[in-house]
Structure 1
Amino acid sequence: MSLADQVLAVNDDLPIRTHLPVHSGKVRSVYWLTDADSQRLIKEKGYDVAPDAPLAIMVISDRISAFDCIWHGEGGLKGVPGKGAALNAISNHWFKLFKDSGLADSHILDIPHPFVWIVQKAKPVMIEAICRKYITGSMWRAYSKGEREFCGIALPDGLEKDKQLPELLITPSTKGILKGIPGVPEADDVNITRQNIEDNFAAFNFSSADDINRYETLLKEGFGVISEALAAVGQTFVDTKFEFGYVTDAAGNEKLIYMDEVGTPDSSRIWDTAEYDAGNIVENSKEGFRQFLLNHFPDPDILLNKDRMPERDALARDNALPVESLMDVSRTYIGIAEKITGQPIHLSDNPKQEIIDILKAEYGLID
């Protein structure tokens, strides 16, 4: 069994019964079930959703993306062993904790396999909701060049790199390209202010203006729940991205939920607290891999400059990274997942076949 065999790199070719094209993102692929299969599973499994709700199978992969590119390693290694299982395990843990803490539900209805979620279709809020407790990364880079206003929030002079901010900040950006919103550029991932959202709440897919407060509450309380739990295992929650959407439950009530993923090394910065207290930054997140890439290539501007995207794509396509660099990521992801969940992450010998067997035998979704 080679290392490459243990990695699920291609996740959009499973023989799951679907009538729509498979949607493949950077890390996950989504298979929309037929209406008949959705309705059958809702009935059989007793999911708390509208009887005609569209369901999907979401399959994670072990691919690693950074700087908007997918990277690969030497020896045919197309991803990071254990990464997918670690990400799903962490998200599952936090989504359950949110629900148990009375915050909100998520889009996940069922977890047939460590790589697989059964999800309900949600109406997404078109905002990447970013919460920051420390000044670091892109915010520090902008601050150090003299910027003092972020998403309509004024920051004082005298802040220090990697230190705690005066308060927990919400710095939202657009999810996808939104058109026709005054003052908001038509580009993906541009910073927006709370005023932008209030003035155009429907354009961001909020059902009501009151839900802006609700999303901010869920963001701050979710951040707090994760922060407290991480502190208990010697980790510092630095910043994170949340996404939200709307679903309708079996009784016909619309509700705002958490979706995508939460509190993972892909969507957050997590620092080792003891090291931080000693004056060192030890990343238990993808930031460590980003730093490796910036140091690995002679011209890091290619990775940071959006105008050089064709060169960046070529860099990712044409350069197989050292296996050890991807194994470093593997150790980081598996290590933090096991700390958070208290459970071991098992590497599967053949994840794809396992997924097919379970979805066929227990869910009747494979012809």
Structure 2
Amino acid sequence: MSPSAPPAALRLASPPKVLLPALSPSSTCSPRLSMSTPSRPRATPLTAAGGGGAAPSLLAADPGHRDSVILAARDAMTNCLGETHLDLVVPGLRLAAKGKVRDVYESGEHLVLVTTDRQSAFDRVLASIPFKGQVLNETSLWWFNRTSHITPNAVVSSPDRNVTIAKRCSVFPVEFVVRGFVTGSTDTSLWTVYNKGVRNYCGNAIPDGMVKNQKLPANILTPTTKADDHDVPITPDEIVKSGLMSKDDFDEAKSKALSLFEYGQKVALENGVILVDTKYEFGKTADGTVVLIDEVHTPDSSRYWIANSYEERFKSGLEPENVDKVT
């Protein structure tokens, strides 16, 4: 990927750095994005006042320990980046969109995507978690760089641990959800609809006799529309007939999504986890190139299971050990 230099108005408090092949160990010590307040220090472990080691349980009999933990937790919450107002402090920026997690600003041919610490689940914002946005942003940057052999992406640079500057493009109003297992608990999850007797979901034929958390014979794409309140499953034919995407654009994005997922599963398994399902978003640049946007294989957009316990727990009828954002 050959990053282009963004205009001066997008350089925030420090000059943009080119996306590196890998994040250095020292990268986790960089200051937080500065809004109207000074840079926030890194959160410290929740330990009892004057004590070391692990923090006691909130249910501990000693109320003094419990109060210390609660106070430490409250102090840590000051590290949360819950709101951004870059349009008020950076000339030339305009707030284009405020999502559940990301705030998007625009300036000329570039977008500034700020990943906040807001925690969303089931299509609503629940709370904020210190440094969550930094983890999501840096995770995506890592994957964007390592999947450039599969598809180009919109990333230009990252001037802050919570910020990505991207090329402006026309975003397809479709989320490309790829699944490798029959699982989930929401109304649109594959297990929920399968358990109700559905055997053709979003244009995919699902065989009879499958059980919850079982691996599919092959990975499948189950696209959804991008609605404000909730996502709606849709078939490829409906996407094309409704004019959401052309057939050529959809076929290209579908191929990229399935290849990204296959590669993501390989890398995840090499590191002891199973990439169960995830979602991708794509856009089209001014020159007609279909590019990967938004985020890649983050704990917010993906479901992960611990690999070495999956088979035994599945055979025993137990739920897999999860490391997704809901658990």
Q: Fold-level match, TM-score > 0.5?
A: yes
Partner in structure 1 of residue 21 of structure 2: none
Alignment partners' CA distance in 2, 1:287 and 1:166: 26
Q: 1:260 aligns with which of 275, 288, 294?
A: 294
3-state DSSP of counterpart to 2:213: coil
Q: CA RMSD in A?
A: 1.9
Deviation digits for residues 3-45 of structure 1 (CA, Å, limit 9, x no counterpart): 0121111123561223534521111111212x4xxxxxxxxxx
The residue type paired with residue 191 of structure 1 is P
Q: Say if 1:151 and 1:193, in contact at 8 Å, map to a contact too.
A: yes
Cα deviation code 1:64-113 (max 9, x no counterpart): 011222123xxxxxx112211111111111111111xx211212100111
Find the counterpart in structure 2 of residue 191 from structure 1.
233
Corresponding residue of 1:161: 212
Unaligned runs of 5+ in 1: 36-53, 73-78, 178-186, 289-367
Instruction: Verify: 1:57 aligned to 2:112, yes or no.
Output: yes
**CA displacement at 1:176 relative to structure 2:** 3.2
Matches within 5 A, 1:143-154: 143-154=194-205
Per mean C-alpha deviation after superposition, the further-off stretch among 13-22 and 265-274 is: 13-22
Equivalent runs, 1:78-157 vs 2, <5 Å: 79-99=128-148, 102-137=149-184, 138-157=189-208
Question: CA offsets per residue over residues 210-256 of structure 1, 9 Å max, x none?
Answer: 222211110111001111110110010100111110013xxxx3200
Q: Is the contact between residue 26 and residue 65 of structure 1 (CA under 8 Å) also seen in structure 2?
A: yes
Structure showing the higher helix proportion among its residues: 1
Tell me which of 76, 89, 105 is aligned to 1:3. Answer: 76
> The residue matched to 1:278 in structure 2 has which SS?
helix
Q: Are the counterparts in 2 of residues 12 and 29 from structure 1 also a CA contact under 8 Å?
A: no
Q: Conserved in 1, the CA contact under 8 Å of 2:113 and 2:164?
A: yes
Query: Is 1:228 aligned to residue 266 of structure 2?
Result: yes
Counterpart of 2:221, as a letter, is I
Partner residue in 2 for 1:215: 253
Comparing 160-169 and 6-15, the one that deviates more: 6-15
Q: Secondary structure at the match of 1:263?
A: coil
Partner of 1:286: 325
Whether the 8 Å CA contact 1:18–1:31 is kept in 2: the answer is no
Tell me what 2:123 maps to: 68
Question: Percent identity at matched positions?
Answer: 32
Residue 117 of structure 1: how far off its partner (Å)? 0.7
Q: 1:246 and 2:284 equivalent?
A: yes
Matches within 5 A, 1:325-364: none
Distance in 2, Cα, partners of 1:18 & 1:204: 31
Instruction: Tell me the distance in 2 between the aligned counterparts of 1:30 and 1:127.
Output: 18
TM-score (ref. length: structure 2): 0.70
CA distance in structure 2 between the aligned counterparts of 1:287 and 1:210, rounded to whole angstroms: 35
111-120 or 13-22, larger mean C-alpha shift: 13-22
What is the DSSP-based 3-state SS (H/G/I as helix, E as strand, rest coil) of the residue aligned with 1:254? coil
1:19-58 alignment runs, 5 A limit:
20-33=94-107, 35=108, 54-58=109-113
Q: How many residue pairs end up in the alignment?
A: 244
In 1: Cα distance, 2:93 partner to 2:326 partner: 38
Relative distance call for 1:229 and 1:61 in structure 2 (3 A) is same
- Residue number among 259, 264, 273 corresponding to 2:307 in the alignment: 273
Q: Distance in 2 between matches of 1:12 and 1:205?
A: 33
Deviations along 1:171-229, one digit per CA (max 9) or x if unpaired, are: 1111238xxxxxxxxx95211112213434xx2144xx322221111011100111111
Q: 4+ residue runs of structure 1 moved beyond 4 angstroms?
A: none
Q: Within the alignment, does 1:18 sit opposite 2:92 as a pair?
A: yes
Secondary structure of the equivalent of 2:300?
coil
TM-score by length of 1: 0.63
CA distance in 1, matches of 2:111, 2:167: 6
